[in-house]
Amino acid sequence: MSTFKLDHIDHVALTVRDVKRSVAWYKEVLGLERRYEEAWGDYPAVVGAGETSLALFPCESPNPKPRPDHDTIAMRHVAFAMDRANFQQAQARFQELGIEFDFEDHTICHSIYISDPDGHQLEVTTYDI
């Protein structure tokens, strides 16, 4: 039996209403950098940090359905890891920008949850507790 080893998540694909707005939001709020624009332009628009990226695809409907609730099989959120100092800076940054967030103590880590302009739930987490 042959086996293989995965290195990391390369990207998560998200459907958004307005690609340019989402790129600006992810850059301003999470500090993600724009990637591959010269090759792909805005289809998809890719933003990322470290080895992880988000590929932002435009919604194909003028009236998209809302993000499913917890009673639907779907991806619930995307989580980004950081050290304790950056976790505290993230909280301050979200407050500065007027972005509401929920804090959760998961025993082995602390997390903050926010939503992007399209309602995708995002988590920033630290295991430095």
Q: Is 46 helix (H, G, I), strand (E, B) or coil?
A: strand
What's the pLDDT tens digit per position in 52-111? 999 999 999 888 888 788 888 888 999 999 999 999 999 999 999 999 999 999 999 999
The token pair at 87 is: 């976790």
Q: Give CA–CA dist 16/56, Å, rounded.
A: 6
Q: Give CA–CA dist 122/30, Å, rounded.
A: 10
pLDDT score for 39: 97
Mean pLDDT of 22-28: 98
Domains and CATH numbers, the chain: 8-60 (3.10.180.10), 76-129 (3.10.180.10)
Name the percent of the chain lying above pLDDT 90. Answer: 86
